[in-house]
Amino acid sequence: MVLLLTACAAVPEPAAAGEPIASDGALYTMTLAFSPDPPVAGDALLTVDVPDATSITLEGAMVGMDHGLTEEPVITGGDGHWEIDAYFAMSGTWQLTFELDGEPGPDSLTTSVDIR
């Protein structure tokens, strides 16, 4: 008999708006704010500040469901400050993964948000 075990990655707790979040490798610190706040299903504007970062991407996945963002996020800005237009198709907990790069090197940051 073969027994296979799979580990579920822990979903990070949602950060409060404006609360600093450390990247996975501790190379960057991010602050994140949503409009509307609290965020609701549909269109949302994320304001992201990451001093020292020169590029950013975003992937989103709904926790416990088999889908991610249905539309490619539109990212504008740079030099440590970005605005991201994203569409959240459903209410629930979403895991957000940001890929960051800059002088400190590449790193990622994973957080979650509760969409109402």
Residue pLDDT tens, the chain, 116 long: 333 333 345 777 777 777 999 999 999 999 999 999 999 999 999 999 999 999 999 999 998 888 899 999 999 999 899 999 999 999 999 999 999 999 999 999 999 999 99
In a domain, 50, yes or no: yes
Residue 91, domain member (yes or no): yes
Report if residue 3 sits inside a domain.
no
Q: What is the model's pLDDT at position 35?
A: 96
In a domain, 104, yes or no: yes
pLDDT at 5: 35
User: What's the confidence (pLDDT) of residue 67?
Assistant: 86
Instruction: Kindly state whether residue 1 falls inside one of the protein's structural domains.
Output: no
86, burial (CB in 10 Å: exposed 0-12, middle 13-18, buried 19+): buried
CATH classification at residue 98: 2.60.40.10
What pLDDT does residue 46 have?
97
Residue 92 is assigned to a structural domain of this protein: yes
| Residue 9, pLDDT score | 58
Residue 77 lies in a domain: yes
Concatenating the DSSP letter of every residue in 31-92 gives: EEEEESSS--SEEEEEEEE-TTEEEEEEEEEETTSS-B-SSPPEEEEETTEEEEEEEE-SSE
Residue 57's φ and ψ, nearest 5 degrees, are -130, 165
Domain with 90 in it? 21-115
Tell me how many domains the chain contains.
1
